Amino acid sequence: MPDRNLEPDSARIAHAEQVHRDAAQRLLAIPGVSMVALGSKETGGQPTGELVIRVHVANKRPLEEIPPDEVIPAEIDGVGTDVIESDGIVLVAAPPGGIVRDDSTDDKTERPLKGGTRIQPALSSAKGERWEGTLGCLLWLKSNHDVGYALTNQHVIDGAGLVAATKGSTEVGQPTSISSSSCCNDIIGVYRAGERTGADDQAVVQLRAGTTWQAQILGIGLVSGTRSLSTADALARLPVRKRGARTRLTGGVVTDVNGVSGTAHNAILIQANDNPDRKPGELLFFDEHGDSGSAVVDDQNRVCGLVFARRRTRAEITARGGTPPALPPDGIERPLGVAWPIADVLARFAAGTPSLTLEVATATSIDEVHTVPGAARVAVPAELAPVVAAEPAAFLGAVAADGLRAPVGRPWFAADRPLSETLAEVRAALEESAAGRYLTQLWQRHRVEVTRLLRDDRRVAVTWHRGGGAALFQLLSRMVSRPELALPETVRGVPVQDCVDAFAVVLIDRASASLGADVRQAREVLPDLPGRTLAELVAALDAMPIGVGGHA
């Protein structure tokens, strides 16, 4: 019998890999076998360091109950086997919910963009579900390191096939896909490439012009490169981490590599570390619903893999009519995370349509910020320049020969809270009065048309920007956290009231009859704006007579 040294040399590892390749399909043909991989043998739930072929089954059966042709041999060509109870996989985009203590995903806005954050495509299923997942890490074009791409899973983009995503046009946002107006929204780019089969599940979002991003992962730090995991890494139980939008930062060890199933090949399996804060009976997840797209990294912050699934829990197996496996000796259930090797992911983008030669973006300093080139910029009105100049570190625009220039269609300031929270606070304040409630109802009723006109109708867009609409909107959103700020008397020398009236006129002319009628009514409700703080605006709305414009 071959020597089973607990630290096999390269020749013995190569032999085990060859035996695994030769035997995988034969083992998968045995009823109940769901995956065949390489890793360490386990005894009493603990790794022994012996390199074996790990055969994952739904349930272990007593030898006397197994037909002779379904018995998994103790060894194959001198390589031992180990039978592991681990059944099937579950994709981990969201919805549905999972068994974790915190039943929500991270909704924090990150600008510049970083890995480990929540993203959401601007699509919903027939049931109205909005899928979301994780931006694992940032990639860049090999030929241009400023052109950034966000890495995630295809099933995050298309809801596991429930929605039709279109390459080059389906928008994706961070942290949500909400688009509040043409001057400030969560959209970071468009779905550019990706696919999902039994053997792959990857997608990239091409960041739109003007987007700032960093080669970092929240809670982990600067990305330093990539690493291809080896059989020796699985044998040594290599420590790895990931940062996902659902379970945030989790650590684990690589238990299996070269995992082969009915359609998959080369999968990586990861077991979560223990957690001192775990409650009795609580499961330990390396990844869960909402974490799809997370990047797996080693202790040197090199990206090793792309999370896309986890193995089924005992409860999920029971719900499917199966018999759940026994708990491990320590009584803690740890559904294994499943990932694709990063080298395979990048190779698929290069071979796909369109062909993209991408690399994992790296950094050596926390101050490295990339800006996707090609963004249009607009001059900041002189009346708002003092506000911008007072916070140079927060301003996301640039200083040009003709003064400050801000990005078109993007936030002007580094967000100190998610845009959705800012808008929710403004809405709550407005709804304290009848006039304010009418304005919020009008926006909800017509926001899609207004956004379309601002984006597609040149006359509306020009009037909006020349009249300082974008600037006033940016200042209003800033006034939520800066209550001392007030609207200016003029914008580019034109009284603010005249700017508002000019925009109302062009909107009525270009809008639908319904929107036009509501804009006329809204102009009656809107108080004078110049020089007022947000609190003063809310108070002025509250003082408007009930029933103004026919609305109470």
The domain of 214 spans: 113-218
Tokens 């012009």 correspond to: 209
* pLDDT at res. 96: 40
Phi, psi for residue 517 in degrees, rounded to 5: -65, -40
Residue 102 has pLDDT above 50, yes or no: yes
d(CA 370, CA 362): 11
144 and 233 inside one domain: no
Distance, first Cα to last Cα, the chain: 89
Whether residue 395 lies inside any domain: the answer is no
Share of the chain above pLDDT 90, in %: 51
| Structure-model confidence comparison of residues 219 and 462, the more confident one | 219
Q: Where are the alpha helices (DSSP H) in 240-373?
A: 314-319, 342-351
* pLDDT at res. 406: 83
Cis amide prior to 386 (ω within 30 degrees): no
d(CA 75, CA 15): 13
For residue range 15-39, list pLDDT tens digits in order.
999 999 999 999 999 999 999 999 9
37 and 128 inside one domain: no
For residue range 103-161, list pLDDT tens digits in order.
577 888 898 999 999 999 998 877 777 889 999 999 999 888 989 999 999 999 998 88
d(CA 298, CA 127): 39
Is residue 415 very low, low, confident or very high in pLDDT (cuts 50, 70, 90)?
A: low
160 and 186 inside one domain: yes
Neighbours of 74 (CB within 10 A): 10
Number of residues that this document lists for the chain: 552
| Structure-model confidence comparison of residues 218 and 384, the more confident one | 218
Whether residue 2 lies inside any domain: the answer is no
Is residue 269 very low, low, confident or very high in pLDDT (cuts 50, 70, 90)?
A: very high
543 and 430 inside one domain: yes
Q: What is the CATH number of the domain that holds 340?
A: 2.40.10.10
Report the pLDDT averaged over residues 52-68.
Answer: 91
428 and 528 inside one domain: yes
Most confident of 299-308, 378-387, 470-479, 530-539: 299-308
Provide the token pair at 47.
Answer: 């790794």
3-state secondary structure of 508: helix
324 and 317 Cβ atoms separated by less than 8 Å: yes
426 and 538 inside one domain: yes
136 and 232 inside one domain: no
* Structural domains of the chain, count: 4
- Domain edge (last residue) among 187, 218, 249: 218
- 133: β partners: 119
119 and 183 inside one domain: yes
Residue 169 has pLDDT above 90, yes or no: yes
429 and 540 inside one domain: yes
Phi, psi for residue 258 in degrees, rounded to 5: 60, 35
The contacts of residue 178 (CB under 8 Å, 6+ apart) are 185, 186, 419, 420
431 and 466 inside one domain: yes
45 and 171 inside one domain: no
Residue 363 has pLDDT above 50, yes or no: yes
Provide the token pair at 490.
Answer: 């003029």
d(CA 70, CA 11): 30
Is residue 360 very low, low, confident or very high in pLDDT (cuts 50, 70, 90)?
A: very high
Residue 392 has pLDDT above 60, yes or no: yes
Is residue 310 very low, low, confident or very high in pLDDT (cuts 50, 70, 90)?
A: very high
d(CA 367, CA 346): 26
